[in-house]
Amino acid sequence: MDIKDLMQQSKDAPDHQIKTLVDATAKINQDFKEEALADQAKASGGKYGYIDIARTPINPDLYYLVESEIAQKALLIPFFRLGAKLRVAISDPNKAETLSLLKDLTDKGFELQLNLASSEGILKALELFHTAQNAFKSNLKTTINESELEAYQKEIENLAKLTEKIGLSSAKEGLNLLELGAIKTGASDIHFQPQEKSTLVRFRIDGILQNVSELSPEIYKQVAQQIKYEAGMKLNVINIPQDGRLSFMVNERKIDVRISTIPTEFGETIVMRILDSGKKFASFEELGFSERDLKKLKEISDLSQGMILVTGPTGSGKTTSLYSMLNLYNTPERKIITLEDPIEYHLMRIVQSQISEKSGYTFAKGLESVLRQDPDVVMIGEIRDIDTANTALQAALTGHVMLSTLHTNSAIESIPRLINMGLEAYMIAPALDTLMAQRLVRQFCPHCKKQEAISETEQKYFAEKLAEATLITKESYPTPTELPVAVGCEVCNHTGYLGRIVVAEVFRADDEFKDLIVQKKSLLELTKYAQSKGMTTMEQDGIVKASQGLTSLEEIKRVTS
């Protein structure tokens, strides 16, 4: 049947057949074009191959190599790639937009092989991608099921293997591997740092950044586009910072990720913060608090009112401690409400509210509303301003247990910090119950640590410091003669450390201490008093722990100096 016959038929055809005929006509027209193109390709003497793009399977990752709008104008689509070799379908080799986009691809380092294809075919393929991507987007999260998880885990037994694997994967798989690697190693963040020739991928594990992989510029570009895509960020915007969120599933556990990008000299740098809300958080015992401090922390769980402040820099584990404390209060007869930014763990029976500074739901505003909800215990993610501090102190005096954090170096420094915010000493003193500061130190990797004799100088240092601690706690600590040293193995990514414990100072304010606050005694005097009542400093707590081989002196010095 040729077109003439079809035209004739269409004249007499009933309506429902017309559509079929029109489709058939279009098909024949299309086939004509494809044939003509094949001829044209032949006539080019092998300069261009011909490709029937509508019938060619295309790797979805290639979609990200060019902006879809630009690709539409240029009538161009990359369809196959092997390393730097890229096969590209074009419709018109003389079109200005096409030439300019081809030049861009060449400039990016691709060796191009061109194929002619019909403009209809190219537009259809681009359209197809667009639809598929939107369908994917409505799905919003990536799911890694049990069997895939096992397969992945086998492949990434350690970080070195992970790197190897990423280079061979599609962008989607590469991102999955990184996400999974982060979960497996307990990393809290994934950092992508573009440099001149490659992009450094680093995981923050146990609070320390560790190099995990280096991605070539092409692979990083694809992974970055994939992240931005999933996080609902603008793909074509690379010169201003963006924020977004994505989530993925591991074994039916939903893991939220916060994404932020900023432009740098060598491209966008991306940080993915992993909020593994289903992750089990440790008890105070597991966190490594000393017996002395554990006793004080257990006492706090009987409180019916008062302010508990946990201080320390970001990454010092304050949030985990606050959650552990909330867990102590978490009984059916108590109502607990939290104000958080972000919500890091989900807790049973606890009302957790997400602060949104952007839409005006601040800690100060949130706290006022929360107090109208008749809570027994309130946790405020952070006290940043005098309004929040004032409301919190009032609440702590009127039958509420208030928990919060401050950014100070030591526990006792909370007092001058609150005074500097503009609060009156006589307001702070009666509301206060517990002050605590903490840091996290790395523990030796149990798989590779080695016991070694320590030098005389070190023994002397320990003896002196342990004697100081004894004065405070009235406990005696033996001076060590040998201690573990960090070696490094595959399990610990050659760092010699695995897991962390806390070093802390915990002080419960008594009446005499409250008097000293009202009398506006100095930080030094307040600290001396707390020590006289048995509060070891973080450094002292740490040195005792190092003397017991739980961590190293270097770690204690790293976090306390």
Contacts to Zn ion by CB under 5 A: 445, 447-448, 489, 491-492
Query: Least Å distance between CB 458 and Zn ion?
Result: 23
C-alpha distances (whole Å) from 561 to each of 439, 554, 556 are 11, 10, 8
Nearer to Zn ion, 448 or 466 (CB): 448
Least Å from the CB of residue 450 to Zn ion: 10
Torsion of CA 522, 527, 530, 531, to 10 degrees: -140
> Would you give the distance in Å from CA 398 to the centre of its chain?
38
Q: Which two tokens mark 320?
A: 């985990």
Burial of 469 (0-12, 13-18, 19+ CB in 10 A): buried
CB of 457: closest distance to Zn ion in angstroms? 27
Closer of 192 and 444 to Zn ion (Cβ): 444
Q: Which residues pair with 199 in a beta bridge?
A: 194, 215
Cα angle at 173 between 167 and 175, to 5 degrees?
85
Provide CB contacts within 8 A for 19, sequence distance 6+.
Answer: none
| Tally of residues, the chain | 561
Question: Smallest distance from the beta carbon of 448 to Zn ion, in angstroms?
Answer: 3
Find out whether 212 and 162 touch, Cβ atoms under 8 Å: yes
> Is the separation of the CB atoms in 117 and 142 below 8 Å?
no
In whole angstroms, how close is the CB of 495 to Zn ion at the nearest point? 7
For the bound state, the minimum distance from the C-beta of residue 554 to Zn ion, rounded and expressed in Å, comes to 16
Kindly tell me which of 380 and 445 has the beta carbon lying closer to Zn ion.
445
Strands 208-215 and 377-380: unpaired
Which alpha helices (H) appear in 66-202, and where do they start and end? 68-74, 96-107, 119-139, 146-155, 159-167, 171-185
Nearer to Zn ion, 336 or 448 (CB): 448
Output the smallest distance, CB 492 to Zn ion, in A: 3
Maximum CA pair distance of the chain?
108
Q: Is the dihedral of CA 409, 412, 414, 415 positive or negative?
A: negative
Q: Report which of 373, 415, 367, 421 is spatially closest to residue 394, judged by C-alpha positions.
A: 367
Distance CA 140, CA 327 (A): 32
Q: How far is the CB of 181 from Zn ion (least distance, A)?
A: 17
Q: Which is nearer to Zn ion, 177 or 445 (CB)?
A: 445
Tell me the closest approach of the beta carbon of residue 484 to Zn ion, in angstroms: 11
| Angle value at C-alpha 300, between 396 and 516, nearest 5 degrees | 60
Least Å distance, CB 452 to Zn ion, is 16
In contact, 338 and 326? CB cutoff 8 Å: yes
Q: From the CB of residue 389, how many other CB atoms can be counted at a distance below 10 Å?
A: 26
User: In this chain, which residue has its C-beta nearest to Zn ion?
Assistant: 445
Q: Which one, 386 or 489, has the nearer CB to Zn ion? A: 489
Closer to Zn ion by Cβ: residue 19 or 447: 447
Which strands make up the sheet holding 242-250, listed edge to edge?
A: 141-144, 242-250, 253-264, 267-275, 189-194, 199-205, 208-215
Minimal distance, residue 443 CB to Zn ion, in Å: 11
Looking at the Cβ atoms of 390 and 551, the one nearer to Zn ion is 551
Task: Give counts: helices (H), strands (E), the chain.
Answer: 21, 20
Q: Tell the smallest beta-carbon distance from residue 183 to Zn ion (Å).
A: 20
Query: Cβ closer to Zn ion: 137 or 450?
Result: 450
Whole-number Å distance between alpha carbons of 282 and 440: 13
| C-beta neighbour count of 488 within 10 angstroms | 15
Taking the C-alpha atoms of residue 76 and residue 250, their distance in angstroms, rounded to an integer, is 37
- Residue closer to Zn ion by CB (options 185, 193) is 185
Q: 121 near 52, Cβ under 8 Å?
A: yes
Task: Give the angle 405-300-527 at the CA atoms, nearest 5°.
Answer: 60
CB of 147 to Zn ion, least distance (A): 29
